[in-house]
């Protein structure tokens, strides 16, 4: 059994209020994620990467097929699956530290645990130190740069210490340098703590630098068309010939066209 299993998953969304037409976003996706993997999902815009991640998070349910975590159907979000989306909002009226503590409190309470404020503050402080934000712990999010806010979101994920990190283009709004620095710290973290990470990105160079596996989706409606497994034994050098060639090979496989409408059969299944 894999840690996360998507079995023959299709997802259609109704496109009108009366639920008479639907658009197919995912088309029979089979995708397993093993414990300790760093899987990057790539593919053209609109191919269903965010929908896939949202299903793993428990925010979106499949129309057909099954999404499982440790063999159990995912029906809602859970503390074992931490999420960072591109514009993951921080609560503006709380300090950086309070934002992290707040997330911890919610997660512990949701899991029926006892919240210990001092212990939570310590975990939050450790997580902020890991991402280099200990000196801004008392500041409000609106006083931070975009990169710092993203690091707060990462710190929150670290403090929660979820088994799985689900990350949707977490660094895409950042400048090259900040992005690279955060990529490297995430990669180190993954190597040290052996988390399971599912990471959505448009940046193929970023994917080849960090992933243990890269999964390419077709254009809309998305399904898995190609996968590449990378050795995790050696150091990753972005200027190495192997990585540059791999990135080129992946770019050559990147689909362009799009269909994106439900077939009659899928519509029938969707509408019952
Ligand atoms: N809640 C929703 N209601 C209706 N359609 C949706 C919804 N969420 C996603 N879709 C549609 O599903 C398709 C896949 O969307 P998704 O956001 O997963 O794409 P993506 O691969 O993440 O694209 P991008 O790279 O641009 O972020 C799109 O056509 C989108 O319009
Ligand atoms: Mg997306």
CA-nearest residue for atom 18, ligand 1, is: 48
User: Hey, which residues does 222 pair with through a beta bridge?
Assistant: 26
Domain edges within the chain: 4-80+164-271, 88-161
**17 — pLDDT class (breaks 50, 70, 90):** confident
Query: Which residues have CB atoms below 5 A from the ion given as ligand 2?
Result: 50
pLDDT for position 258: 45
Structure tokens that stand for 257 in this block = 């066209």
- Side-chain half-sphere of 112: how many Cα atoms within 13 Å? 0
> Which residue's entry shows tokens 């512990």?
108
- % residues pLDDT > 70 (the chain): 93
Q: How far is the CA of 237 from the centre of ligand 2 (A)?
A: 27
pLDDT in tens, 170-197: 888 778 888 888 888 888 888 888 899 9
User: Hey, which residues does 9 pair with through a beta bridge?
Assistant: 29
User: In whole angstroms, what is the distance from residue 121 CA to residue 100 CA?
Assistant: 8
CA-nearest residue for atom 16, ligand 1, is: 48
Give the number of whichever ligand sits closest to the CA of residue 25.
1
- What value does the mean pLDDT take over residues 65-88? 89
* Substitution site in 15, 29, 46 for ligand 1 pocket (most atoms within 8 Å of beta carbon): 46
User: Could you tell me if 157 and 180 are in contact, meaning their C-beta atoms sit under 8 angstroms apart?
Assistant: no
Q: How far is the CA of 219 from the centre of ligand 1 (A)?
A: 11
pLDDT in tens, 20-42: 889 999 999 999 999 999 999 99
Cα–chain center distance at 203: 14
More confident residue, 141 or 172: 141
User: Could you tell me if 240 and 211 are in contact, meaning their C-beta atoms sit under 8 angstroms apart?
Assistant: no
pLDDT for position 264: 56
CA-nearest residue for atom 11, ligand 1, is: 25
Q: Whole-number mean pLDDT of the chain?
A: 88
Q: How far is the CA of 168 from the centre of ligand 2 (A)?
A: 7
User: In whole angstroms, what is the distance from residue 224 CA to residue 204 CA?
Assistant: 16
* Substitution site in 48, 83, 166 for ligand 1 pocket (most atoms within 8 Å of beta carbon): 48
Q: How far is the CA of 143 from the centre of ligand 1 (A)?
A: 31
CA-nearest residue for atom 3, ligand 1, is: 13
**46 — pLDDT class (breaks 50, 70, 90):** very high
Fold classification of 4-80+164-271 is Rossmann fold (3.40.50)
pLDDT for position 269: 59
Answer whether 45 contacts ligand 1 (Cβ < 6 A): yes
- Residue length of the chain: 272
**259 — pLDDT class (breaks 50, 70, 90):** very low
- What value does the mean pLDDT take over residues 108-132? 90
pLDDT at 270 over 70: no
pLDDT for position 135: 95
- pTM, two decimals, is 0.88
* Substitution site in 47, 60, 254 for ligand 1 pocket (most atoms within 8 Å of beta carbon): 47
User: In whole angstroms, what is the distance from residue 5 CA to residue 196 CA?
Assistant: 13
pLDDT at 271 over 70: no
User: Hey, which residues does 229 pair with through a beta bridge?
Assistant: 213
pLDDT for position 268: 62
pLDDT at 138 over 70: yes
């Amino acid at each position: 059994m894999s840690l996360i299993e998507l079995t023959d998953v299709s997802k259609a969304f109704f496109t009108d209020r009366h639920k008479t037409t639907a658009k197919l976003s995912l088309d029979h996706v089979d995708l397993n994620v093993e414990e300790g993997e760093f899987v990057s999902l790539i593919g053209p815009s609109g191919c269903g990467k965010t929908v896939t991640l949202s299903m793993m998070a428990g925010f979106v349910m499949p129309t057909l097929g099954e999404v499982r975590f440790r063999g159990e159907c995912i029906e809602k979000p859970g503390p074992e699956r931490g999420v960072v989306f591109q514009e993951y909002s921080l609560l503006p009226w709380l300090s950086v530290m309070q934002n992290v503590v707040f997330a911890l409190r919610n997660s512990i309470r949701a899991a029926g645990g006892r919240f210990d404020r001092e212990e939570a503050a310590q975990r939050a402080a450790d997580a902020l130190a890991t991402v280099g934000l200990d000196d801004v712990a008392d500041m409000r999010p609106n006083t931070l740069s975009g990169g710092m806010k993203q690091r707060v979101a990462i710190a929150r994920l670290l403090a929660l210490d979820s088994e799985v990190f689900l990350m949707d283009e977490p660094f895409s709004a950042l400048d090259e340098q900040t992005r690279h620095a955060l990529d490297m710290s995430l990669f180190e973290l993954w190597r040290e703590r052996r988390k399971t990470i599912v990471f959505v990105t448009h940046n193929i160079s970023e994917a080849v630098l960090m992933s243990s596996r890269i999964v390419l989706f077709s254009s809309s409606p998305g399904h898995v068309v190609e996968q590449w497994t990378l050795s995790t034994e050696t150091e990753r050098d972005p200027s190495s010939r192997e990585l540059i060639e791999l990135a080129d090979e992946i770019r050559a496989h990147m689909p362009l066209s799009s269909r994106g409408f439900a077939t009659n059969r899928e519509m029938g299944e969707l509408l019952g």
